[in-house]
């Protein structure tokens, strides 16, 4: 393409801007791990000695382990349920023409836009009127509101990226709907399913706003952190805990994106076609 040569000319200032932008995106977050190894009660420069003390302290706290276990349980349940519903919805959205699809999709994606505090208080009001006590179950229901649209958004490019006629061929060759799904559809969208599980788990694991309104006596990990933030002398161990969470989240998300990388080339292929 002749046009490329002009556009491709490198733009040095823009390149510098992009690198600075990326650095600024990461630096604030990276201060948490940096100070978590600092041998001082105070989060300030200059850094003092290197220590693993705060991590050690963390491992002796039962409250942390309980909160972690709560978050993991909620995260797993939410990931499985929202991904299951997400697979059906993503297939319906990409494959079938049906009247009213636009508004229905908008409705499903609404939680990505509406302030979460509204969902939190609305659900709290409903539960209290029904007389349902707050628990990890109510947290999980709240988390599913946010995770379902995420799951669908991750899965849609996967379904768009593969040829529907393969499914039809399988059906023509005598496979029933279940086996077609199991042996044809699932392997094709499998990476998207894994990515969706990982990303929705991360979203649920890190979610705070809904948990704030919907958790009962059992705190999730972000709720535990929130409780500790009131005490400045707890900062170092919270820094340690935050660093572990950030590290695990980064690994899960990066792995999820990497596993699902075909989906994006799939959608690029579409726009290129």
Partner 1 sequence: MSDQTLQTRSAPVATPATAGRFGRLMQRSEASRGYALLAPSLIFLGVVILVPFGILLVMSFWTASGFGFDTNFTTANYQKFFERPIYTALLNRSLFISGMVTVFTVLLCYPMAYYVAFHVHRHKMLWIVLMTLPFWTSYLLRVFAWKVVLGYEGVINSALMNMGLIEAPLEFLLYSQQAVIITLAHAWAAFAILPLYVSLEKIDKSLLEAATDLGDGPVRRFFRITLPLSLPGVISASLLIFIPTTGDYITPALLGGPDGAMIGNLIQKQFGPINNWPMGAALSIILMLCIATISLVFILLTLFVRKRVS
Binders of partner 1 in range 32-51 (CB under 8 A): 32, 35, 42-46
Stretch that binds partner 1, among 49-57, 58-66, 186-194, 259-267 (CB under 8 A): 259-267
Q: Which of 52, 63, 80, 117 binds partner 1 (CB under 8 A)?
A: 117
Are 131 and 66 within 8 A, CB to CB? no
Q: Should residue 217 be labelled a site residue for partner 1 when binding is judged by CB under 8 A? A: no
Count of residues near partner 1 by CB under 8 A: 108
Please state the closest distance from residue 31 (CB atom) to partner 1, in A. 5
Please state the closest distance from residue 128 (CB atom) to partner 1, in A. 8
Please state the closest distance from residue 53 (CB atom) to partner 1, in A. 18
Rule CB under 8 A: which of 48-77 touch partner 1? none
Q: Should residue 156 be labelled a site residue for partner 1 when binding is judged by CB under 8 A? A: no
Q: Which two tokens stand for residue 239?
A: 């820094």
Please state the closest distance from residue 229 (CB atom) to partner 1, in A. 7
Stretch that binds partner 1, among 60-68, 72-80, 140-148, 182-190 (CB under 8 A): 140-148
Q: Should residue 26 be labelled a site residue for partner 1 when binding is judged by CB under 8 A? A: yes
Q: Should residue 121 be labelled a site residue for partner 1 when binding is judged by CB under 8 A? A: yes
What is the distance between the alpha carbons of residues 140 and 77, in angstroms, rounded to a whole number?
A: 7
Instruction: Tell me the Ramachandran region of residue 100: left when phi exceeds 0, alpha when psi lies from -120 to 50, beta otherwise.
Output: left
Are 266 and 158 within 8 A, CB to CB? yes
φ, ψ of residue 84 to 5 degrees: the values are -60, -50
Q: Which of 63, 80, 168, 216 binds partner 1 (CB under 8 A)?
A: 168
Rule CB under 8 A: which of 179-208 touch partner 1? 199, 202-203, 205-208
What is the distance between the alpha carbons of residues 124 and 144, in angstroms, rounded to a whole number?
A: 15
Q: Which of 67, 93, 136, 155 binds partner 1 (CB under 8 A)?
A: 93
Instruction: Tell me the Ramachandran region of residue 51: left when phi exceeds 0, alpha when psi lies from -120 to 50, beta otherwise.
Output: beta
Q: Which of 17, 65, 179, 182 binds partner 1 (CB under 8 A)?
A: 17
Q: Which residue from 268, 259, 211 is spatially nearest to 70, judged by alpha carbons?
A: 211
CA 72, chain centre distance (Å): 13
What 8-state DSSP symbol labels residue 161? Answer: T
22 contacts: CB under 8 Å, gap ≥ 6: none
Q: Should residue 124 be labelled a site residue for partner 1 when binding is judged by CB under 8 A? A: yes
Peptide bond connecting 249 to the previous residue in cis, omega within 30 degrees of 0 = no
Output the DSSP codes for 224-263: HHHHHTT-GGGHHHHHHHHHHHHHHHHHHHHHHHHHTHHH
Rule CB under 8 A: which of 94-113 touch partner 1? 95-99, 101, 104, 107-108, 110-113
Q: Should residue 29 be labelled a site residue for partner 1 when binding is judged by CB under 8 A? A: yes
What is the distance between the alpha carbons of residues 198 and 176, in angstroms, rounded to a whole number?
A: 30
Rule CB under 8 A: which of 235-254 touch partner 1? 238-239, 242, 245-246, 249-250, 253-254
């Amino acid at each position: 393409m002749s046009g490329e040569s002009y556009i491709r000319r490198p733009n040095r200032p823009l390149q510098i801007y992009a690198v600075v932008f990326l650095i600024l995106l990461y630096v604030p977050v990276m201060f948490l791990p940096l100070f978590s190894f600092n041998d001082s009660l105070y989060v300030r420069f200059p850094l003092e000695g290197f220590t693993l003390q705060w991590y050690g302290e963390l491992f002796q706290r039962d409250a942390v382990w309980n909160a972690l276990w709560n978050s993991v349980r909620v995260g797993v349940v939410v990931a499985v349920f929202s991904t299951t519903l997400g697979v059906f919805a993503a297939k319906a959205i990409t494959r079938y023409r049906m009247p009213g699809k636009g508004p229905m999709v908008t409705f499903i994606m609404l939680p990505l836009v509406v302030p979460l505090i509204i969902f939190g208080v609305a659900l709290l009001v409903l539960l209290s009127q029904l007389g349902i006590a707050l628990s990890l179950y109510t947290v999980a229901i709240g988390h599913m509101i946010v995770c379902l649209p995420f799951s669908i958004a991750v899965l849609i490019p996967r379904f768009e990226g593969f040829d529907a006629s393969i499914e039809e061929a399988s059906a023509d060759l005598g496979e029933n709907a279940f086996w077609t799904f199991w042996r044809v559809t699932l392997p094709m969208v499998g990476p998207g399913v894994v990515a969706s599980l990982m990303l929705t788990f991360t979203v649920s694991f890190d979610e705070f706003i809904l948990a704030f309104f919907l958790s009962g006596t059992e705190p999730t990990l972000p709720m535990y952190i929130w409780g500790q933030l009131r005490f400045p002398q707890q900062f170092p161990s919270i820094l340690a805990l935050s660093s572990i969470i950030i590290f695990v989240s980064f690994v899960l998300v990066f792995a999820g994106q990497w596993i699902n990388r075909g989906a994006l080339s799939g959608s690029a292929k579409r726009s290129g076609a």
